Structures are given as C-alpha cells and as structure tokens.
Chains A and B, each alone.
Chain A
Amino acid sequence: GQSLEQPSEVTAVEGAIVQINCTYQTSGFYGLSWYQQHDGGAPTFLSYNALDGLEETGRFSSFLSRSDSYGYLLLQELQMKDSASYFCAVVGYSTLTFGKGTMLLVSP
C-alpha cells in the first residue's frame, strides 16, 4: 500500500517563501507529483520529480529525496492567488495516490 503525509494547513504573507513537505511510504514508485486546487475547482498539475534533486518552474520548485522518501514544494514570492490546496501524489505505473492536501492561506 501507499500512504502520504503532508501538513493540513500552512499560512504565509504575500511576498514570502513557503515550503510544503510531503513524506511517503510506498511499494511502487516512479516519482512524486504536485497538484494545485483552488476552492471547488479541478486539480491542476504543477510539477513532477522522478529523480532526486530540485526541479524549478518559475516561482515554484519541487524537491525529491528517494532515499528519505521525502519531497517538498517551494513557493516563492507568494501572491494572493497562490491561496489554494496543494496535493503531493506518489506516481505509480498504473495510478497516482494523493495525499490529503495542504491548504495554503496567503494574507496581505
């Protein structure tokens, strides 16, 4: 089976940097993905790490350590529009298993 742990809520102010951690236990692993979901909307893909290290996409970066079964999503220069839920997901051959999500609240 697979299980993922991520904080339920994180708060930050505009312009700040925030890190959302994700630890996982899995029996099959191709990589770790991150998705963003605004309230009531569809989840949208942010990033994918198949190998150890840091992947950068604009203001967002994602990190993976396979040996530690750990990853994180780093959001820089926070904007109000970044207020959303963020899900890490273990990527397997057939399916993705999602964490329960982290709600990020960005205040002015």
Chain B
Amino acid sequence: DADVTQTPRNRITKTGKRIMLECSQTKGHDRMYWYRQDPGLGLRLIYYSFDVKDINKGEISDGYSVSRQAQAKFSLSLESAIPNQTALYFCATRGGQETQYFGPGTRLLVL
C-alpha cells in the first residue's frame, strides 16, 4: 500500500463550488505539506503543518484553506473554486531533514 494517498485522483468542478482534497499518510510523520504544480512553474507551497495544532501559510495560500484532522490526515479546501486554480495538487510528508514523500497527486479542473 502507498505511504501517502490522495483522494480524489481527478476532479472536475465548476466555478464557485467548494471542494476538498484529502491526504492520508501511514509514514507516521508529523510534517505535512500541500503543493500545487503548474506547467513551467515547479512546485509551489500552499500550506504546511507540523501537528494538528500547527498550520502555516505557504507561498500561495490565498483562496485555499486546510484542516489537520489527525497526524495522518491533512485536507485542502477550495472554498469557491476559480479557473486559475486548475492545477495538479500534491500532498507530501517529511520525516528527516532531507526527504519529502509525495502522494500521487490530484488533477483538478475548474470550469
């Protein structure tokens, strides 16, 4: 079984809809991250969390919110989706200093 899982893997929604992307991990890591990837722009950090009581904004947090329900679960919400939030979204965990473990990604299309 995968260590970091994301649901859904693909999602099509309409402008103005609220959606939630979910991430679960079995690695036992405290640190969890949400990134978005756009062609040619690399991975940009949206939010990160070090435990259930610790939530931090990343580089591009506007229009997003997160919830850390447990050590193993970290959800990303788009309260009112807009077309420029169409992207590939990755969840990741971090154990030691050097390594992040990424989930398989969620492809989101906002019409």
CB within 8 Å of B: which residues of A?
Answer: 8, 30-31, 33, 35, 40-45, 48, 50, 87, 91, 94-101
Cβ of B41: which chain A residues have Cβ within 8 Å of it? 100
In the bound complex, what is the Cα–Cα distance between A98 and B42 (angstroms)? 7
Digitize B68-98: 1 where CB-to-A-CB distance is under 8 Å, 0 elsewhere.
0000000000000000000010100010011
B55 at the interface (CB under 8 A from A): no
Tell me the chain B residues, 16-60 only, with Cβ under 8 Å from chain A.
33, 40-45, 48, 50, 56, 58
User: Could you tell me if A30 and B97 are in contact, using CB atoms closer than 8 angstroms?
Assistant: yes
Chain B interface, number of residues (Cβ within 8 angstroms): 23
- Nearest A-chain residue to B50, judged by Cβ: A94
User: Could you tell me if B102 and A43 are in contact, using CB atoms closer than 8 angstroms?
Assistant: yes
User: Could you tell me if A48 and B102 are in contact, using CB atoms closer than 8 angstroms?
Assistant: no
Cβ of A101: which chain B residues have Cβ within 8 Å of it? 40, 42
User: Could you tell me if A48 and B98 are in contact, using CB atoms closer than 8 angstroms?
Assistant: yes
User: Could you tell me if B42 and A50 are in contact, using CB atoms closer than 8 angstroms?
Assistant: no
Given A42-B102, A44-B102, A95-B58 in contact, is the A50-B97 Cβ separation under 8 Å?
yes
User: Could you tell me if B104 and A42 are in contact, using CB atoms closer than 8 angstroms?
Assistant: yes
User: Could you tell me if A43 and B98 are in contact, using CB atoms closer than 8 angstroms?
Assistant: no
User: Could you tell me if A87 and B43 are in contact, using CB atoms closer than 8 angstroms?
Assistant: yes
User: Could you tell me if A50 and B98 are in contact, using CB atoms closer than 8 angstroms?
Assistant: yes
Q: Which 5 A-B pairs have the closest CB atoms?
A: A48-B98, A42-B102, A100-B42, A98-B43, A98-B42
Cβ of A31: which chain B residues have Cβ within 8 Å of it? 97-98
B100 at the interface (CB under 8 A from A): yes
User: Could you tell me if A95 and B45 are in contact, using CB atoms closer than 8 angstroms?
Assistant: yes
In the bound complex, what is the Cα–Cα distance between A3 and B37 (angstroms)? 16
Cβ of A43: which chain B residues have Cβ within 8 Å of it? 43, 90, 100, 102
21 A-B pairs with C-beta separation under 8 A:
A8-B40, A33-B99, A40-B105, A42-B90, A42-B104, A43-B90, A43-B100, A43-B102, A45-B99, A45-B100, A45-B101, A91-B97, A91-B98, A95-B45, A96-B100, A97-B45, A98-B43, A99-B42, A100-B40, A100-B41, A101-B40
